[in-house]
Amino acid sequence: FRAKISRGLSRALIVTLGLLGVATIESAGQTLYLWMITAESQSVTVMSVAAAVLALASAIRQFAPMLAQPGKESWLSKLPMNVLLGAIGIPLLLLLLVAWQVVATTVFFQGQLPVGGANGLLITGAIEDAQRHYHLAVILFCLFGTVAAGMFLGFINLSSLQTMYSARITRAYLGASNANRFNQSAIQLRVTEPHVNDDFSRSAYYTNNHLGPAHIINVTINATTGSGDQLTQRDRQGIPMAITPAGVLVNGVPWKKTVAGQPDQALGAELTIGQWVGISGAAFSTGIGRGTGLGTALVFGLANIRLGWWWDSGQPAREYVWPMWRNQTFLDREFRAHFVGQDDSHWYLSDGGHYENTGVLELLRRRVGFIVCCDCGADPKYTYEDIANLMRLARIDFGAEFALISPDKAPVLATHAAEIDRYFANDEDDLAERPQGKNNKCALLYRVTFATSDANQPTECFVLMLKPRLIQDAPLDLFEYQIKNPNFPQQTTFDQFFDEAQWESYRKLGAMIGSRIFPS
């Protein structure tokens, strides 16, 4: 009974606040409209308001990602950012709704001062036929536009930045290995121009025609509510999903439809490799796994910093959604950080790092014998946040335990153990010593043992962690770059545009570390 009363009171409060919000928005919108049309210079006033709104939107888009992912040594990292972003996002939402109210009022009154009545400001009496027909046409047009926007589901993805981001990822990485770009008889394209053969399907990629490594592309199914378990919804707020040669796997299980007497049928919409990689690499969006919050979703949504993807899973929705309101429903879920996981026909996918950032978890799931991991998440204080999360998830999900060992204990490295031992840290604190460059420590080696194992699976594996760190053998230019940039080589991943010095510094350091650990 107490729970029923609490739920009823909660609904009543929500309805009351909703009505109060509608009244506030309507009053503010009509007041702003009257102020603009009664100003001495209407055009200047309208342009000033529009310029102020555009400047605000531009500032939000520029600084929102920086606020959502502040540097770990920044004073911003000590503040409750989700609360602060919520305090910014709610007024922004109200401002957006007031702007739409002004537009609606302008269309309704045709940009004129409302007339009629004793005070000259209120509409009273009958409206002329022409005006009535105009208002009816406006209402019908708005209804048609709303229904059309809701029914064409491609709009929800095309209206985000994901398509542009995937196109850039495709040109930068897949395009670089497109032989047709270097064909002497073909038209030479600039590096920024797309080519028809840059991208290809998943089935074409995972074939014998491609001799490169078989990549596992990790993404996260965002889940903050729904019928899933409470651990997922309250803490992880996501479910791991992997695109592999065996198809799409959800939490390690193939996403297929099984029918008695028939071969399994793969479910879900087919995306290209470029699209999958674009989803996997997009760090900022309204849904970011365990970092999802109302404040972040509101600010990112209003600034249209939306890099996730609504993926058609191929299964029917557990809750009915009106076809004419599908886009609006999904957009509402993004703004409210209300993701139902696998309960709907469409799942909201985002960066695989929103669940586990190193990518090692899927390899441990497969009991790969020797794993090399480059732990390249920004970690200037060497607190090992990503490695710690990996250990925690592996222990909970697989019963796996990590133990730090020396290279002579791993069969793969035993032959060269004496030669490479000086590059391995005795414990994690060795890599955190300051100043850097006083020794060559840059690697950790773990033996991972599993509590249970099937007959055909190994009971242990080895994980080699390479940690970016300025080593003693580095040349002068790398030390000079670190003097100017103290966080090198652990600068924030928010920086997506490297200049020549930054690019070469990271490239050279990575090449040196790799050649030391794996001598020819």
Q: What is the pLDDT of residues 120-136, one digit of tens each?
A: 444 444 455 666 777 78
**Each residue's pLDDT tens digit, 479-497:** 999 999 998 999 887 777 7
CA distances from 372 to 363, 403, 458 (A): 10, 16, 18
pLDDT value of residue 520: 66
**Count of CB atoms situated within 10 Å of the CB of 490:** 22
Q: pLDDT, tens digit, for every residue of 222-248?
A: 999 887 777 777 888 999 999 998 889
State which of 104-108, 181-185, 498-502 shows the largest mean pLDDT.
Answer: 498-502
Q: Residue 355 has what pLDDT?
A: 94
Share of the chain above pLDDT 70, in %: 90
Q: How far apart are CA 209 and CA 262, in angstroms?
A: 29
Q: What is the pTM of this model?
A: 0.84
Sole residue written with tokens 């542009």: 164
For residues 223 and 233, the answer to whether their CB atoms sit within 8 Å is yes
What tokens appear for 182 in the block?
């270097």
The most confident of 93-107, 136-150, 299-313, by mean pLDDT: 299-313
If you average pLDDT over every residue of the chain, what do you get? 84
Look at the chain and count its residues. 520
Q: What's the pLDDT score for residue 126?
A: 47
Q: What is 196-258 written as a DSSP string?
A: TTS--BHHHHSSTT--S----EEEEEEBSSSSS-HHIIIII-EEEEEEETTEEEETTEE-EE-
**Statement: residue 272 has pLDDT above 50:** yes
The pLDDT value given to residue 495? 72
Rounded-to-integer distance, Cα 261 and Cα 496, Å? 51
Q: What percent of the chain has pLDDT over 90?
A: 37
Q: Is the pLDDT of residue 210 over 80?
A: no
Per-residue pLDDT tens over the stretch 139-177 = 888 888 888 888 887 889 988 989 888 988 898 888 888
Which pLDDT does position 51 carry in this prediction?
79
Average pLDDT, integer, range 401-411: 93
pLDDT band at 504 (very low <50, low <70, confident <90, very high): very high
pLDDT at residue 438 is higher than 80: yes
3 confidence band (pLDDT: 50, 70, 90) = confident
Q: Is 266 helix (H, G, I), strand (E, B) or coil?
A: strand
Closest alpha carbon to 271 in 179, 199, 354: 199
Cβ pair 296, 90 in contact under 8 A: no
Over residues 8-31, mean pLDDT: 90
Highest mean pLDDT among 34-43, 85-94, 212-221, 448-457 belongs to 212-221
For residues 365 and 104, the model is more confident at: 365
